[in-house]
Structure 1
Amino acid sequence: MVEEVLRSLRAACPIPPRLSPYADPVQEWLLDRLPRLGVPLDSSARERLDRAGFARYAGRLYPDATEPDLRTLAALFTWFFLVDDACDGPDRLAPEQIRALRAGALSLLRDGPRRRHPGFGGPLRRLLVDAWRVPRRRMPARWRLRFADAVADHLDGTWRESVAKDLGRRPSVAEYVQLRRATSAAYVSYPLIEFATGRPLPDPVYHHPALRRIGELGNDLLSWYNDLASLERDRATSGGHNLVLAVAGERRVPLDTAVDLIAERWRAAMDRFVALRADVPSFGPALDPAVTTHLDGVANAVRGTVDWTLESARYPTP
């Protein structure tokens, strides 16, 4: 049933699909690069990583990136997914370990690779050092701060979710929606639009209420779609941290009913997303092209997540 709902939502998505022509070559590069950074990849791990297709995910979100930039983006995406794997599941990091990882990652992003933290080392650190090298050199300080702040929010959400799981505390629907906006890493992907396109936005425009609301809805759309796809896995490992599970628990309805309710919620959010995107005010001829590029990037994040979720082996559907 979930697979049918996922496919029906993809069919209803008005955002056109896009994919970088460099996605598959970059995927091959990634599989070769990771062992050089000490990421352990035996034959089965290499196959899982290849079938997950993180470079194709980056290629769907940033279809106009150059091949070298897509390599950087794919490496960053891989870092976030490896962190997600480390912080989720039955053998997940303890909350204090996640806090140490957060502190170490932020020290690296804000102060450079010479700053070290005792809780952050090994392949995860080497991968982030390698992936951050080009954005750190090329992007302005205000952008680097914006990206680091987004990473801080994401890892803080990951920590809060871990604490709740350890306490056996299941979130309400309202609590979960807010937390999911942090744990999804969508807000991390938005600054990378500027890196990929070379069109940075001034802070007052980037944080304008109209753009912020569209970004929030885009986050919800890709997060809720992912929750549908990962429902079976999350039933065993998430401690109720999945929108379907939260709705089923709060409304006391069967999972099948909750799935239908989330699908309805997703369609309504998509209608609002399209309407708000069409109603963005003008910021003047000097800024409007960059604003359009940013909004296209947010839309690509939604549609790219939909398409990648259905093609990636990371979220097998029954």
Structure 2
Amino acid sequence: MTDAYLPVFDIPFPLRSSPHVSHAREINLERLRSHGMLATDEARAWYLNWDMAQLAGYGYPYADCDSLALGVDQMAFFFLFDDQFDGPLGRRPERVAAVCGKLIDVLFTPPQQRPRGASPLVSFFSSFWERSVRGMAPSWCARAAHNWEYYLATYVGEATDRVGGAVPAMEHFLQVRRGIAGTSNLMDYGERIGGFLVPPAVFHTPQLRMMRQVATDVPMLCNDVHSVAKEEPRGDVDNAVLVVQRERNLCRERALDHVRDIVMAQIEVFVALERQLPDVCSTLSLGDEDRHAVDRYVDAMKAWIRGYHQWETETHRYAAEATVPPQVPNYAEDLLHADGARPAGS
């Protein structure tokens, strides 16, 4: 990892990992290849250095092998897709809107009506979404589709901010970053991969809503600490460290510490809210099965908060030697065109 200063996050939740990481990694690699990705040794080595399988293993430690493989596919899409905008495409908001629109269409178009000859990432996402919704309740499918739409659409906001060049105010930043972080999607898949569903009556209580906000914001903020050195030279402005540094007129080290302090304060809020959940469940007269679903959901949120940060400290993705010059596209393959030949900004 880089020798630059990084604050320590003392996250009080246990670290666990799925025993199926190796097998799920192989399933994921084969799926990526079947959709036209990882076609070169360079692309494969680039991707394997991130260790998406271990990230999913930390985040979904309770998953069986097939479900964990779905989780690895989710991580693969997040990061491969995100990197496609670390080049000319990321400075063309109208092209970003068109690209993301094709993926949003996947969420609301029956499989048989989707166009053939899609790009590798669109094809992969289409397959992933079909497997995600299989056997799931309509309420979960609707919620997950909404969060995927939010995730995809906010890439347009990020591109617009990148072109503008100014570090945004905190509220503006949060509206964009909470989308492109994809952490709401991670909370959805805690249920999908865990094989449970939280009843709507308790899912939308103030306690669980606030806990879910912490669980979506904490990984995002930790990620900004680890990625700011990589993102700032590329002109990315939607980063919490940059926002705090500008708004509070802090040096970089103090801004990093301030973001760490925000994270730790939010975790204290999470722990305090968790203590209220038994009374909430009693007030709603939840049965044993529904109470168990609530407990599993809390466990899933904790797994992601702890596991995501652990992965960030281990992966090669944020290592100084893995950072390419700002003028060079930060990806090994163009995955957003069906022929793979056109430059991503064309």
Give TM-score scaled by structure 2 length.
0.84
Deviations 1:261-317 (A, max 9, x none): 112222211211211122222141241110111111111111111111111111226
Describe the SS at the equivalent of 1:114: helix
**Pairing partner for 1:142 from 139, 142, 153:** 139
CA distance in 1, matches of 2:210, 2:270: 9
**Pairing partner for 1:69 from 67, 71, 86:** 67
Matched, 1:303 2:301: no
Deviations 1:37-56 (A, max 9, x none): 11143112111211101111
Structure 2 residue identity aligned to 1:149:
H
* Contact 1:234/1:241 (<8 A) preserved: no
Classify 1:234/1:103 alpha carbon distance in 2 versus 1 (closer, same or farther; 3 Å).
same
Describe the SS at the equivalent of 2:179: helix
CA distance in 1, matches of 2:89, 2:102: 21
CA distance in 2, matches of 1:117, 1:93: 27
CA distance in 2, matches of 1:192, 1:19: 16
* Contact 1:107/1:117 (<8 A) preserved: no
Structure 1 residue identity aligned to 2:17:
L
Matched, 1:104 2:102: yes
CA distance in 1, matches of 2:212, 2:83: 25
Classify 1:128/1:271 alpha carbon distance in 2 versus 1 (closer, same or farther; 3 Å).
same
Matched, 1:57 2:55: yes
Classify 1:36/1:93 alpha carbon distance in 2 versus 1 (closer, same or farther; 3 Å).
farther
Paired position in structure 1 for 2:15: 17
Q: Which moved more, 1:206-215 or 1:302-311?
A: 206-215
**Pairing partner for 1:240 from 225, 237, 240:** 237
Paired position in structure 1 for 2:152: 155
The Cα of 1:110 is off from its aligned counterpart by: 2.4
Gaps of 5+ in 1: none
Matched, 1:168 2:165: yes
* Contact 1:214/1:273 (<8 A) preserved: yes
Structure 2 residue identity aligned to 1:298:
M
Paired position in structure 1 for 2:224: 227
Paired position in structure 2 for 1:313: 316
* Contact 2:91/2:163 (<8 A) preserved: no
Classify 1:173/1:216 alpha carbon distance in 2 versus 1 (closer, same or farther; 3 Å).
same
Describe the SS at the equivalent of 2:49: helix
Classify 1:208/1:159 alpha carbon distance in 2 versus 1 (closer, same or farther; 3 Å).
farther
* Contact 2:103/2:152 (<8 A) preserved: no
* Contact 1:199/1:290 (<8 A) preserved: yes
CA distance in 1, matches of 2:114, 2:160: 25
- Map 1:36-51 → 2, pairs under 5 A: 36-51=34-49
CA distance in 2, matches of 1:225, 1:156: 22
More helix by share: 1
- Map 1:187-206 → 2, pairs under 5 A: 187-206=184-203
CA distance in 1, matches of 2:270, 2:70: 29
CA distance in 2, matches of 1:24, 1:98: 34
Paired position in structure 2 for 1:268: 265
Structure 2 residue identity aligned to 1:70:
L
Matched, 1:291 2:289: no
The Cα of 1:171 is off from its aligned counterpart by: 0.5
Classify 1:148/1:93 alpha carbon distance in 2 versus 1 (closer, same or farther; 3 Å).
farther
CA distance in 1, matches of 2:12, 2:301: 14
* Contact 1:105/1:125 (<8 A) preserved: yes
* Contact 2:183/2:217 (<8 A) preserved: no
* Contact 1:229/1:316 (<8 A) preserved: no
Give TM-score scaled by structure 1 length.
0.91
* Contact 2:224/2:240 (<8 A) preserved: yes
* Contact 1:155/1:183 (<8 A) preserved: yes
CA distance in 2, matches of 1:22, 1:3: 34
Higher relative contact order (CA 8 A, sep 6+): 2
CA distance in 2, matches of 1:88, 1:208: 38
* Contact 2:222/2:309 (<8 A) preserved: yes
The Cα of 1:91 is off from its aligned counterpart by: 4.8
CA distance in 2, matches of 1:121, 1:39: 13
